[in-house]
């Protein structure tokens, strides 16, 4: 029993917000149901028979109506449980009055039933609930002894004591399962938001927290978006095995947690297979440089001692005070710095300071295109467009989603092995349902373009074809 009570106390503390919302929803529903029951009892029982309960029922209905109006005019749940105790006091006051003053020759069934039901509807902490039940019992027993004959009073007291015992047992059993459900829900939410291997935030949750910070930020201080990519990670897996590759990912996550502790100023995430992201708030250039230097040094030391081979990373970052930037804009700026670091041979850091959003130059995204195709695209668009390339051929819609706000045109090379082409076409179909941007499909198979609603460009791609396709797209 002691262990169960301690578990309940801990669950109430850990899930306070969820419990508050559920109680609020149930209170608004139950007060309407109870008001409807009171009205039905008034019109079906009290008024036709001219019962002495009529005046009491009218007073109770008036009080319940006021309580209901107050609940439904509040925009959100108040803190604590006081509004639930008010509801309990209202229904128990009516039950006690009818059971001790009106129905003097009958068992107080209304009080007994409501005493048990009171413990079933809401998620309430045990100590205050027990205190309220004991208080109701004391008032009921006192008034019963005073107003009823001894024989009837004895029956009511025994029935009420049995009801109290049943209510307490039911409450403890129900609370145990309710709180376990809250615990399981919280754990499921945690698992859905955390990358299982590294225990960092996954992509969706990281973007959500960063967007919330940008929307709610009140500080005028600088903040940074950092993207980190492991150099030659495929080689690590191929040469040393996937177990070693997993250990490398976990080691990098541990280093990130040490350098950027989760103290409310840092948001850490694993954005992709070997790509990690960090948002750092309230930091200047010197602090950012020191952190990145420490990160690389700690990673070099740990990889040398743990794996026996060097693990290096390329890092791109943007430092800014522009809280009006979107997450996509910040990510693209940092992503460009990352690719500059990788183009420099890896094991490098590139940081840019920018207090302005991205320039209003539209973007063309090229997915799965080789270097020659990228060169043709850049030559065709010249300075009119920014060209971003992505090798993420398996999740075309995910690659596009990263830059969706600024992408003006999507170019996809579908001349891939059959299984890859099929997945890319599926991604393009999903994309076409949520985006109106035109799609150019590079493929030897005309059906591939038709399958995803794109314009066909037969290989090899050259400047003349690219110019014609851009004109057809209005670009």
pLDDT tens-digit map of 402-456? 555 556 677 788 888 887 778 777 777 777 666 677 888 888 887 777 777 778 8
Average pLDDT of the chain, as a whole number: 81
The pair of three-digit structure tokens given for residue 375, joined into one six-digit string? 């060169």
Strands 275-281 and 266-270: antiparallel
- Which pLDDT does position 277 carry in this prediction? 93
- Which pLDDT does position 42 carry in this prediction? 85
pLDDT tens-digit map of 309-355? 888 999 999 998 877 777 877 888 888 888 888 878 889 999 988 76
CA–CA distance, 371 with 343 (Å, rounded to integer): 13
Beta bridge partners of 225: 279, 318
- Which pLDDT does position 123 carry in this prediction? 73
Per DSSP, helices labelled H in 313-445 are 327-343, 371-381, 396-402, 418-434
Helices then strands (H, E): number in the chain? Answer: 18, 10
pLDDT tens-digit map of 165-199? 888 888 877 777 777 776 777 667 667 778 888 88
Residues 6+ apart with CB under 8 A from 68: 31, 32, 35
How does 273-292 read in b/e, with b if 16+ C-beta sit within 10 Å?
Answer: ebbbbbbbeebeeeebeebb
Residue 281 has pLDDT above 70, yes or no: yes
Residue 261 has pLDDT above 80, yes or no: yes
Residue 18 has pLDDT above 90, yes or no: no
pTM of the shown model: 0.55
Helix (H, G, I), strand (E, B) or coil at 208: helix
- Which pLDDT does position 227 carry in this prediction? 93
Residues 6+ apart with CB under 8 A from 22: 123
């Amino acid at each position: 029993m002691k262990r169960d009570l301690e578990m309940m106390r801990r669950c109430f503390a850990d899930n306070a917000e969820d419990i508050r919302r559920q109680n609020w929803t149930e209170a608004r529903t139950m007060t309407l149901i109870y008001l409807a029951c009171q009205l039905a009892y008034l019109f079906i029982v009290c008024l036709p028979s001219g019962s002495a309960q009529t005046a009491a029922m009218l007073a109770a209905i008036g009080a319940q109506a006021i309580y209901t109006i107050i609940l439904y005019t509040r925009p959100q749940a108040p803190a604590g449980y006081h509004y639930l105790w008010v509801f309990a006091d209202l229904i128990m006051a009516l039950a006690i009055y009818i059971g001790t003053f009106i129905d003097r020759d009958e068992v107080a069934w209304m009080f007994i039933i409501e005493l048990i039901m009171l413990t079933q509807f809401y998620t309430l902490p045990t100590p205050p609930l027990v205190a309220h039940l004991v208080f109701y019992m004391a008032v009921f027993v006192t008034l019963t002894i005073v107003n009823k004959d001894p024989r009837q009073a004895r029956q009511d007291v025994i029935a009420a004591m049995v009801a109290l015992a049943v209510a307490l047992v039911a409450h403890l059993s129900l609370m145990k399962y309710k709180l376990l459900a809250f615990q399981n829900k919280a754990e499921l939410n945690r698992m859905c938001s955390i990358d299982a291997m590294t225990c960092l935030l996954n992509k969706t949750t990281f973007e959500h927290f960063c967007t919330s910070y940008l929307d709610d930020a009140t500080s005028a201080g600088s903040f940074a978006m950092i993207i980190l990519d492991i150099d030659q990670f495929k080689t690590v897996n191929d040469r040393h095995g996937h177990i070693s590759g997993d250990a490398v990912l976990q080691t990098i996550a541990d280093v990130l947690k040490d350098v950027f502790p989760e103290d409310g100023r840092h948001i850490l995430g694993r954005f992709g297979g070997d790509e990690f992201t960090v948002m750092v708030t309230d930091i200047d250039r010197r602090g950012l440089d020191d952190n990145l230097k420490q990160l690389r040094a700690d990673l070099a030391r740990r990889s040398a001692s743990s794996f026996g081979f060097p693990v290096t990373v390329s890092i791109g970052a943007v430092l800014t005070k522009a809280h009006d930037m979107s997450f996509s804009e910040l990510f693209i700026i940092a992503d460009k710095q990352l690719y500059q670091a990788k183009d420099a041979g890896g094991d490098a850091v590139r940081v840019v300071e920018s207090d302005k959003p991205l320039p209003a130059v539209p973007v063309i995204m090229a997915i799965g295109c080789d270097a020659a195709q990228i060169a043709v695209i850049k030559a065709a668009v010249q300075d009119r467009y920014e060209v971003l390339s992505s090798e993420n051929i398996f999740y075309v819609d995910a690659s596009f989603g990263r830059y969706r706000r600024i992408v003006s045109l999507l170019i996809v090379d579908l001349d891939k092995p059959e299984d890859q082409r099929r997945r890319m076409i599926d991604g393009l179909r999903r994309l076409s349902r949520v985006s109106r941007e035109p799609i150019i499909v590079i493929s030897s198979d005309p059906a591939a373009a038709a399958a995803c609603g794109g314009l066909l460009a037969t290989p090899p791609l050259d400047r003349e074809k690219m110019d014609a396709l851009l004109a057809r797209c209005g670009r």
